Amino acid sequence: MASHHDHLMSPRTAAGRDGLAAIVARPDRAVIALDFDGTLAPIVPDPDQARAHPDAVAALAALAPRVASIAVITGRPAGVAVRHGGFAGVPGLEHLVVLGHYGAERWDAVTGTVHAPAPHPGVAAVRSELPGVLADLHLWHDTYVEEKGRAVAVHTRRASDPQGAFETLRRPLSDLAARHGLVVEPGRMVLELRPPGVDKGVALTEYVREIGAESVLYAGDDLGDLPAFAAVEKLRSDGVPGLLVAADTVITELAERADLVLDGPAAVVGLLRDLAR
Ligand SMILES: O=P(O)(O)OC[C@H]1O[C@H](O[C@H]2O[C@H](CO)[C@@H](O)[C@H](O)[C@H]2O)[C@H](O)[C@@H](O)[C@@H]1O
């Protein structure tokens, strides 16, 4: 496993070094894709209070004109990531794309609009049954339910026993999701009930193809970023060099698969600045 003292620009794998070399050689052909929470925004107890690192937007804006495209790929609704990130109306970020809900939604800075499919009917059913399920488990007061529009997320970070509550909820929430055609997306002290059919790997692969990129960087910190890591590994085997960045070491599997392991959003900002230079 990598240490989080890796130099910001020194990938520890040959594939990562190839990826970085390709990005640096032809930045105008590179897609830079980043997760939001935990990668651009420090993790905080209340999801509504999460904001991009204070230097993140400036670092993105400095890098954007030098690369083919920057995309934020997040489990958040696209509009929420845009608001919490402060991404709208920023000089330099005129072409930013935010792929929300793991790629189900898309916001383009150039139009300022969100495109999204019709909501899955299972979400309304889950929304109405969820309070009863949480009450039966005596977890109604210990959890926070995040209303995400086309999904519902149950957070345990502020519970008296966050990991215990998370484990207790796993099976019942999986059953509830399955009854209504949804899936559970586990994350850092959160279990999200959401429609199936798209993940960050699908979103990233399609976006790299759309741009016609010749290299890609993906940075993430959570379980929902693993499909994007797999997508970069597949792109590499198809001849598109790529660099995998773990924003921190909390999710062991992600850190183990990364070419670079950083020490949180401040270090991600440092990497973006180094790339812009
Ligand atoms: O794909 P992401 O951009 O990483 O979004 C994943 C989830 O992030 C949010 O939850 C996480 O961040 C919260 C704020 O720091 C934290 O309180 C929580 O424990 C983390 O899991 C967001 O609230 C979820 O909806 C996203 O699915």
- What pLDDT, on the 0 to 100 scale, is given for residue 1? 36
The pair of three-digit structure tokens given for residue 107, joined into one six-digit string: 């916001």
Residue nearest to atom 14 of ligand 1 (CA): 47
Atom of ligand 1 nearest to the CA of 35: 3
Alpha carbon of 81 to ligand 1 centroid (Å):
10
The CATH code for residues 121-194 is: 3.30.70
**4 has a pLDDT exceeding 90:** no
Q: Mean pLDDT throughout 102-125?
A: 96
- What pLDDT, on the 0 to 100 scale, is given for residue 105? 98
Question: What gap in Å lies between CA 252 and CA 89, rounded to an integer?
Answer: 36
Confidence of residue 7 (pLDDT cuts 50, 70, 90): low
User: To the nearest whole percent, how much of the chain has pLDDT over 70?
Assistant: 97
Atom of ligand 1 nearest to the CA of 148: 25
pLDDT digits (tens, 9 = 90+) for 237-267: 999 999 999 999 999 999 999 999 999 999 9
Q: Mean pLDDT throughout 128-134?
A: 97
The ranges assigned to domains in the chain are 14-117+198-276, 121-194
Q: Which CATH class for the 14-117+198-276 domain?
A: alpha beta
- What pLDDT, on the 0 to 100 scale, is given for residue 135? 96
Instruction: Decide if the complex's ipTM is over 0.85.
Output: yes
Alpha carbon of 188 to ligand 1 centroid (Å):
7
What residues flank ligand 1, with Cβ below 6 Å?
35-38, 43-45, 47, 50, 74-76, 146, 148, 153, 155, 157, 187-190, 192, 222, 224
- What pLDDT, on the 0 to 100 scale, is given for residue 171? 98
pLDDT digits (tens, 9 = 90+) for 190-207: 999 999 999 999 999 999
- DSSP per-residue letters across the chain: ---TTS-TT--SSHHHHHHHHHHHH-GGGEEEEE-SBTTTB---SSGGG----TTHHHHHHHHGGGSSEEEEE-SS-HHHHHHHHT-TT-TT-TT-EEEEGGGTEEEETTTTEEE-PPPPHHHHHHHHHHHHHHHHTT-TTT-EEEE-SS-EEEE-TTSSSHHHHHHHHHHHHHHHHHHTT-EEEEETTEEEEE-SS--HHHHHHHHHHHHT-SEEEEEE-SGGGHHHHHHHHHHHHTT--EEEEES-SSSHHHHHH-SEE-SSHHHHHHHHHHHH-
Mean of the per-residue pLDDT values of the chain: 96
Alpha carbon of 37 to ligand 1 centroid (Å):
5
Atom of ligand 1 nearest to the CA of 42: 15
Q: Which of 34, 35, 37 best tests ligand 1's pocket when mutated (most atoms within 8 Å of CB)?
A: 37
Residue nearest to atom 5 of ligand 1 (CA): 75
**160 has a pLDDT exceeding 60:** yes
- What pLDDT, on the 0 to 100 scale, is given for residue 9? 82
Confidence of residue 139 (pLDDT cuts 50, 70, 90): very high
**41 has a pLDDT exceeding 80:** yes
- Kind of pairing, strands 215-220 and 242-246? parallel
- What pLDDT, on the 0 to 100 scale, is given for residue 222? 97
Atom of ligand 1 nearest to the CA of 151: 25
Question: What gap in Å lies between CA 66 and CA 140, rounded to an integer?
Answer: 48
Q: Which of 152, 190, 221 best tests ligand 1's pocket when mutated (most atoms within 8 Å of CB)?
A: 190
Residue nearest to atom 25 of ligand 1 (CA): 76
Atom of ligand 1 nearest to the CA of 39: 4
Choice among 2-16, 38-52, 90-104, 243-257 with the minimum mean pLDDT = 2-16
Alpha carbon of 26 to ligand 1 centroid (Å):
33
The pair of three-digit structure tokens given for residue 155, joined into one six-digit string: 């957070």
Q: Mean pLDDT throughout 45-53?
A: 97
Task: Provide the edge-to-edge strand list for the sheet that holds 152-155.
Answer: 144-147, 152-155, 190-194, 183-187
Q: Mean pLDDT throughout 146-160?
A: 96
**2 has a pLDDT exceeding 80:** no
